[in-house]
Structure 1
Amino acid sequence: MIIKKQVHRAYKKVNPIIGVLLFLISILLFVLTVPFGFVYGLIYKLFKGGVTSIGEYALKMAISIDQLGNVSMQYLLNALWIKKDGYYFGNRDETISSAIGRNKNLGTLTFFGRSIDRLLDTIDPNHSLNSIDYYIEPTDKIIDKLAWIHLVDGKILSTRSKGKTKYYIPGGKREPGETDTVTLVREIKEELSVAIIVPSMEYIGVFEAQADKHKLGILVRMTCYAAQYQGQLLPHSEIEEMVWLTYKDRELISAVDQLIFDFLHLKGDLVE
C-alpha cells in the first residue's frame, strides 16, 4: 500500500453549461497538445533513462487513460460488468482495474466482468486486486473511517455501542474536510474520554470490506493508527462496553475489523 496523505474533498456541483464548455476545451487541448507532448516525453525519457524509463512513462500514461475510461464509460461498465448491487464504476480518482478489484472482492462481477478480470490476470497475475486504490476520493459507495489500534499484552481494545451485538475497533467516520489526525482525536475523545497524543501517532494501514448492515456494494474503508493517550479509558457517549479481544474473538467483530485482526495476528501482535 502507498501512503498518500491528503484531505479528501467531495465533488462540487457545477453549472451544466460550464461543464460542457470545459469538456469541449479539454478535448481541443487534448487533440492539439497530447500527441506532441507524448512524442517529446518518449524522446526525453529515452535519452535520460533508456528503455526502462520509457516503460515507466508508458505505465503512468496507461493509468491516466484507465481513469479517463472509468469516467467516460461508467454507465456502460455498470450495466455490463457488475451486478445490480455491485461497486459502481465512475470515480474520477480511480482506475477501471481498481473498480474491478473491489467488485471481485464483493463477488459482484458479471460474466463479462469476470472475463475481463481473467484476461488482465493472464497479463499480470492478480492485476485487479493489486490495483485497488485505497486512497481515492470517498463516494457514497465508500464509508471513510479512522480507527485506533491499541494493543496491550497481545490483546486489542474494542468497543460495543448501545443496542449493538458486534464489537468494533474504536474510531469513527471522517467529517468533510477533516484530516486523519483531527478525526481520530475527536472520535476517541467522544467514545473513550481520552486524548490521543498526536506526535505518537503511527500509521498501521488501510483496510476495506463490505460495510455491516448496508446493502451489498457499500464498502467501509478503515485507516488505522496506533497512538499513545492521556487520561483514563472510560466508555462514553454511545459506547456501552469496552473489552480486550484476542484473535479467537474474530467472529465477534465486523468484516473490516476481521481483516485488521488477520493483519495483526500475522505480525504476531495479536495473540490467539
Structure 2
Amino acid sequence: MDLIDIGANLGHESFAHDFDAVLQRAFDAGVSQLVVTGASEAGSIAALELAQRRPGRLFATAGVHPHHAADFTSHTESVLADLHRLDLVRAVGECGLDYHRDFSPRPAQRRAFERQLELAVACGKPLFLHQRDAHADFMAILRDFSGRLGPAVVHCFTGSGDEMRAYLDAGWHIGITGWLCDERRGLHLRELVRDIPADRLMIETDAPYLLPRTVRPMPSHRRNEPMYLAHIVEELARDRGEDVAVTAAATTATARAFFSLPPAPAD
C-alpha cells in the first residue's frame, strides 16, 4: 500500500529518542508520506524542522490548537505568517474550537481561530481543522468567512452524523483516525464512514495519541505510531465494504491532491 498520514504529532517528546526508527517502521508499513501537525507556535516551528529533515517524505502544518489559544499573541500571528510563506508548510492549523476540556477560555479560542482563518485567507492554503463539542460556534465562525477560504479538512472527526453532513455540505473533507477502532466511543463512525465520498476522505493516526484499540498485539507502551495507519485503513475499508486496496488508493489520492504533495520519493 501507498498511504499518507495527514496528521501525526511527530514533534511530541515521546518520539525524541527513536524518531528515525518510527519513520522507518512507517515506511516499511506502506506510509510513504506524512504531514506533521503544528499545534502551537513552538510546535509549528518544530514541525517545519522535522519536515526539513526528510524532504519529499515529511511536510508540515502551522497553527495553534484551541488548547493553546490563550497563548496566541501578535508575535504568534507573525511567526505563523512567516511559516506559511514556506513551501514545506502545506496547511493552516491545527486550529478550531474545543469546548470539551476548555484548556483555553472560549473567547480566546474564538479569537485565535478567527485570526488563523484570516491567515488562511491571506496565504490561500488549506485548513486543518479541529472541533470538539463546539459545533455551533465552529460553523458560525466559518460561515463568516464563506467564499474566502480554500479547501478544509475536519481532522480527527469523531462527531455525529448531522455534524458530518454539515461538513460535507460545506464542501470540506473528513479525516478518520483510530477513533474508529474504539468500541467504547467510536462505534457510530463505523456506520458513518460509508457515507463519506471517496474524494473527501483522508486517514491519519494523530500519533502518539489514539492508538487503535483493535491493534494486535497491543504494544505495552500504548504509544500510537504512523505505522498503524495500515491498520486504520484496513478497518476503514471493512466498514465501507471496499477492498483495502481501493480505500488506500482513494485516500492517498485525496490527500495528495488536498495538500498538493509531490509523488513520494523512491528511496
TM-score norm. by structure 1 comes to 0.29
TM-score norm. by structure 2 comes to 0.30
Larger Rg: 1
Query: Relative contact order: is structure 1 or structure 2 higher (C-alpha 8 Å, sep ≥ 6)?
Result: 2
